[in-house]
Amino acid sequence: MTVRLRVNGIDRELDVDPETPLLWALRDALGLTGTKYGCGEALCGACTVHLDGEVVRSCVTPVRRAAGKQVTTIEGLSPDGSHPLQRAWVELGVPQCGFCQAGQIMSAAALLAKKPKPTDAEIDRSLSGNLCRCGTYLRIRAAVKKAAGEP
Amino acid sequence: MSESLRVVRRSFLVGLGIAVGGLALGSFARAEEPGGPGAKGTAGDGLRPNVFVHVAPDGLVTIVCARSEMGQGVRSTLPALIADELGADMARVKIVQADGDKAYGDQNTDGSRSVRMDFARLRRTGAAARMMLVTAAARRWKVPAATLTARDHAVFHDATKRSLGFGELANDAAKVPVPAKEAITLRPLSELKTVGRELPLVDGADIVTGRAAFGADVRLPGMLTAVIARPPVVGGKVARHDPSKALAVKGVKRVVALPAPKPPFAFQPVGGLAVVAEDTWSAMRGRKLLEIAWEGGDNAGYDSPSYRAKLEAAVRAGGRVVRDLGDVDEALAGAKRTVEAVYHAPNLVHAPMEPPVAVAKADARSCEVWASTQNPQSARAAVAKALGLDEGAVTVHVTLLGGGFGRKSKPDYVVEAALLAREMGAPVRVQWTREDDIRHDYYHSVSAQRLVAGLDGAGKIVAWQHRTAFPPIASIFDGATYAAPGQLAQGVLDVPLSIPNVRAENCEARAHTRIGWLRSVANIYHAFAVQSFLDELAHARRMDPADHLLEVFGPPRTWSPADLGVAELPNYGQPLDEYPIDTARHRRVLERVTSLSGWRGRAAAKRALGLAVHRSFLAYVAVVVAVVKDAAGKIRVDEAWIVADCGLVVNLERVRSQLEGAVVFGLSHALYGEITMKGGATEQSNFRDFRLMRLHEAPRRIHVEVVESDAPPSGVGEPGVPPVAPALTNALFALTGTRVRELPVVRTLAV
């Protein structure tokens, strides 16, 4: 069966089982490997992408739910890595191993799109679904604030 | 570039297996690749003084990173150090990730060893290249080499204001004999621009744009994906199975039986059935539909509660004496008062955010692997053995690691990929699911410890007895039930105690699961027990815990094995004269952390502080944790301070990030981390039941101080972890009056 969706601004047609999680459609069928598999149960957030601007965990989102919608992955967040979050992440040296960071940034990007000046509590809430085993949380918090132009 | 073109181009490169994401664009090389440092030199292609450095005639300097990057920053640190010694400009340096090859020396990226083991060795590789370039320039200008300097990618003769770029000199320098190790002159430390500095994060831009290539991101033409059903109990096997439902899933190609391992399990795969499919999701679905009856084997009786009781009985009964000073029995018999406590810490799982993954391509004569591995040489050896090949026929490429923490130094998953690739006659990626990772780890040991102290009439500590029981790491290699000295030198043998009578014993513990090393290893439970017990003694003696620790460490001095009461002390593989146990350094980090955290004024605050100090991997680390209770009675960690003396530091920025991370890693385990076994099988399966600290649970602030030190470089990645758990539980005692003697804390208190 064919599923039509728009990924990072490009129309795509995928010949996959409509129940396939969006994560594996992105990674295996489209070669967009920036979105990561971490748990398969929406517990870690490594697979976070945007569906029409909303945060979804792509590991539990059947690709049929993305039909006719706009999917944004880390590869499409900005044309050249210049999103304020991407810049802040590099400037503050947030990543350690880096594996969870695409998901962290995608969660934070959805937050900033709605709340350009989030409070600490709003940052905590929006990112509590994204695990980091290396323990970069404090720099993540600082980088979100930096990207938002907050002290 | 238009959006569509960018994506197409990327897929094309990835499809060829060339790009392997951004990392490969300029950083993967095979030893035989022209221009790579490992290649054999041919006339006219520049300078190759060793396998780490290549200076091309066009001036491009290629430097190899031979250690694996898993977040600790080796790729941002080690090549920069070589470039610094050489005098190269990092803007004109290409970093290449080494394949597994003994030519690079030790590549095993664990034991916090990269900088401490490689500092001099890597500097020599850059210095050799520099000396050869300088000699070539001296010959050309007919001036003494001593009048020349190498800096900014060129050799300068300052007296005549002449200079020649490295590229211009490269082919001439290649004709200069490579200096012998003894003849290599290193720059004075003061000349190095990388030491003690904040260096740029080499892979940062690739990571934040999704271009960075981790193990799971490698794609080869015709590649299949395997997901494996493994025996729930270590040593178990498939009794019978029915693959028909799995095979009926569209995309599933085959179900392949993997050989059951024979003890000792070492790095062998654990066996089971692999579902091999065209894509990941089909393989996962196929595995779910496999019908398997398992045979449990010898470890099917392993239950965590009864095992705990066994360990606790062992530490009450006694064991082999491993440290002995004075006469503990007599001192305890004559003590006015004794204090005793038993501590328990559970099995833990590494759970790197990227579950184990490897890609292999194999035929009858050779095998090529791409793996997220901490130890490509051991992966190479294990694959060669499993396939019956010479190591020379096996190539292991290293990707970025999405976390390692010790898990990825065991290549069982790499061997799985190699076996399946040969069986399928096609490239195979073995993808561990999170459930696989949690259920089939090389677990951090469960442990029990009993500590007894004797106090005399004046309240002075006159006796110290420490018994420890834990299934040792060596159990996976030879079935050992007692720990090797190296594991006991992680917080039992090496703790300076200014107490006249000291005895430590190691009690027997048989492993019923695969035991491995987890970031800071036996220091985790030993520091927890020792630093908790010292806090208990401080309260029993009505002393401030910081003053009490200073009294126990004693005056600033170095401690010999005889002072400790041991015949010899494994010192993380490094000599005691270079890396002594020095209580001046324990005292210094303690004094700094108490000063930074406001320890002396803590009574006035509405929160409670706890303190712990521990030396591991040759570094001295002190931690203070502040805890608060909210209106609902739930406890949270409010703030933490960590002060480390790591000796000479190269990349200060990554040292700080490692220490920040260590606080979160340590808190996460101490508060919530626990793996339990029932019937020999792991009861947890995913982050739902193996709980990790989340952003909203992290401290508001973590303050890091790295003290300046003239000592040689120590480890960094691990030593931040051990003092965190006892600092936390000591703080919890100060806040609640409840002494937490079993981890995780969540068993005892609402957190």
The dihedral over CA atoms of A97, A103, A105, A106, expressed in degrees to the nearest 10, equals 160
What phi and psi values does residue B54 have, to the nearest 5 degrees? -135, 130
The verdict on a CB contact (< 8 Å) between A41 and B279 is no
Residues of chain A contacting B663 with CB distance shorter than 8 Å: 135
- pLDDT of B6 reads 29
Interface test with A, best of B287, B353, B429, B433 (most A CBs within 10 A): B353
Comparing CB atoms, the residue among B208, B653, B661 nearest residue A101 is B208
Helix (H) or strand (E) holding B537: helix B523-540
Residue of chain B whose alpha carbon sits nearest to that of A137: B695
Question: For B634-656, how does the pLDDT look when each residue is reduced to its tens digit (9 = 90+)?
Answer: 999 999 999 999 999 999 999 99
Type of residue found at B472: P
Question: For B350-369, how does the pLDDT look when each residue is reduced to its tens digit (9 = 90+)?
Answer: 999 999 999 999 999 999 99
**Alpha carbon of residue B143 to chain centroid:** 48
Question: For B300-319, how does the pLDDT look when each residue is reduced to its tens digit (9 = 90+)?
Answer: 999 999 999 999 999 999 99
How buried is B559 (Cβ within 10 angstroms: 0-12 exposed, 13-18 middle, 19+ buried)? buried
The verdict on a CB contact (< 8 Å) between B353 and A33 is no
CA of B659: how far to CAs of B71, B321, B546, B581, in Å? Answer: 12, 34, 21, 21
When the pLDDT of each residue in chain B is averaged and rounded to a whole number, the result is 94
The verdict on a CB contact (< 8 Å) between A135 and B661 is yes
Type of residue found at B338: T
Domains of chain A: 2-76 (3.10.20.30), 84-147 (1.10.150.120)
**Average pLDDT, stretch A7-21?**
96
The verdict on a CB contact (< 8 Å) between B401 and A37 is no
Band (B42; pLDDT cuts 50, 70, 90): confident
Q: Is the ipTM of this complex over 0.95?
A: yes
**Average pLDDT, stretch A116-140?**
97
Question: How many beta-carbon pairs under 8 angstroms link A with B?
Answer: 207
Contact B486, B570 (CB under 8 A): yes
**Average pLDDT, stretch B189-210?**
96
User: 10 Å Cβ neighbour count for B26?
Assistant: 11
Query: Within 13 Å and on the Cβ side, how many CA atoms surround B404?
Result: 33
Residues of chain B contacting A96 with CB distance shorter than 8 Å: 71-73, 657-658, 661
Query: Is pLDDT of B523 > 60?
Result: yes
Q: How far does the CA of residue B204 sit from the closest CA of chain A (Å)?
A: 6
Interface contact A119, partner B, CB < 8 A: no
Contact B466, B260 (CB under 8 A): no
Residue of chain A whose alpha carbon sits nearest to that of B211: A34
Query: Is pLDDT of B10 > 90?
Result: no
- pLDDT of B182 reads 96
Residue B522 DSSP code: T
The verdict on a CB contact (< 8 Å) between B201 and A33 is no
Question: For B208-218, how does the pLDDT look when each residue is reduced to its tens digit (9 = 90+)?
Answer: 999 999 999 99
Query: Is pLDDT of B621 > 70?
Result: yes
Type of residue found at B552: V
Interface contact B281, partner A, CB < 8 A: yes
**Average pLDDT, stretch B489-507?**
98
Rounded Cα distance between B532 and B611, Å, is 9
How buried is B195 (Cβ within 10 angstroms: 0-12 exposed, 13-18 middle, 19+ buried)? middle
Band (B43; pLDDT cuts 50, 70, 90): confident
Which stretches does DSSP call E strand in B301-440? 320-325, 337-345, 357-362, 367-371, 394-398, 428-431
Residue of chain A whose alpha carbon sits nearest to that of B667: A135
Query: Is pLDDT of B16 > 70?
Result: no
- pLDDT of B623 reads 98
Domains of chain B: 3-209 (3.30.365.10), 215-298+356-431 (3.30.365.10), 304-348+442-747 (3.30.365.10)
When the pLDDT of each residue in chain A is averaged and rounded to a whole number, the result is 97
Query: Is pLDDT of B24 > 70?
Result: no
CB within 8 Å of chain B, chain A residues 49-68 = none
Q: In chain A, what is the straight-line distance between the N-terminal and C-terminal CA atoms, in Å?
A: 50
**Average pLDDT, stretch B435-453?**
98
Rounded Cα distance between B107 and B101, Å, is 8
Comparing CB atoms, the residue among A41, A76, A131 nearest residue B694 is A131
Percent of chain B exceeding pLDDT 70 equals: 95
CB within 8 Å of chain B, chain A residues 74-93 = 74-79, 81, 85-86, 89-90, 93
**Average pLDDT, stretch B64-86?**
97
Query: Is pLDDT of B706 > 90?
Result: yes
- pLDDT of B17 reads 33
Interface contact B8, partner A, CB < 8 A: no
- pLDDT of B605 reads 81
Query: Is pLDDT of B39 > 80?
Result: no
Q: How far does the CA of residue A75 sit from the closest CA of chain B (Å)?
A: 6
**Average pLDDT, stretch B170-175?**
98
**Average pLDDT, stretch B96-119?**
94
Which stretches does DSSP call E strand in B119-161? 149-151, 154-157
**Average pLDDT, stretch B280-292?**
98
Query: Is pLDDT of B244 > 60?
Result: yes
**Average pLDDT, stretch B531-547?**
98
Spatial neighbors of B284 by CB under 8 A, at least 6 apart, are A40, B227, B433
User: 10 Å Cβ neighbour count for A136?
Assistant: 29
Comparing CB atoms, the residue among A27, A76, A131 nearest residue B687 is A131
Band (B38; pLDDT cuts 50, 70, 90): low
CA of B296: how far to CAs of B118, B236, B302, B305, B512, in Å? Answer: 44, 4, 10, 19, 12
- pLDDT of B603 reads 87
Query: Is pLDDT of A50 > 60?
Result: yes
The verdict on a CB contact (< 8 Å) between A135 and B212 is no
CB within 8 Å of chain A, chain B residues 235-254 = 250
Residue of chain B whose alpha carbon sits nearest to that of A134: B661
**Alpha carbon of residue A15 to chain centroid:** 24
Interface contact A124, partner B, CB < 8 A: yes
**pTM for the full predicted model:** 0.95
Query: Is pLDDT of B7 > 60?
Result: no
Rounded Cα distance between B113 and B572, Å, is 9
Handedness of CA B416, B422, B427, B428 (dihedral sign): negative
Beta strands B701-706 and B635-645 are parallel
Band (B44; pLDDT cuts 50, 70, 90): confident
Interface test with A, best of B5, B225, B281 (most A CBs within 10 A): B281
Query: Is pLDDT of B500 > 70?
Result: yes
User: What residues are paired with B506 via a beta bridge?
Assistant: B320, B468
Contact B55, B134 (CB under 8 A): no
Rounded Cα distance between B410 and B368, Å, is 18
Band (B606; pLDDT cuts 50, 70, 90): confident
Question: For B559-584, how does the pLDDT look when each residue is reduced to its tens digit (9 = 90+)?
Answer: 999 999 999 999 999 999 999 999 99
Band (B19; pLDDT cuts 50, 70, 90): very low
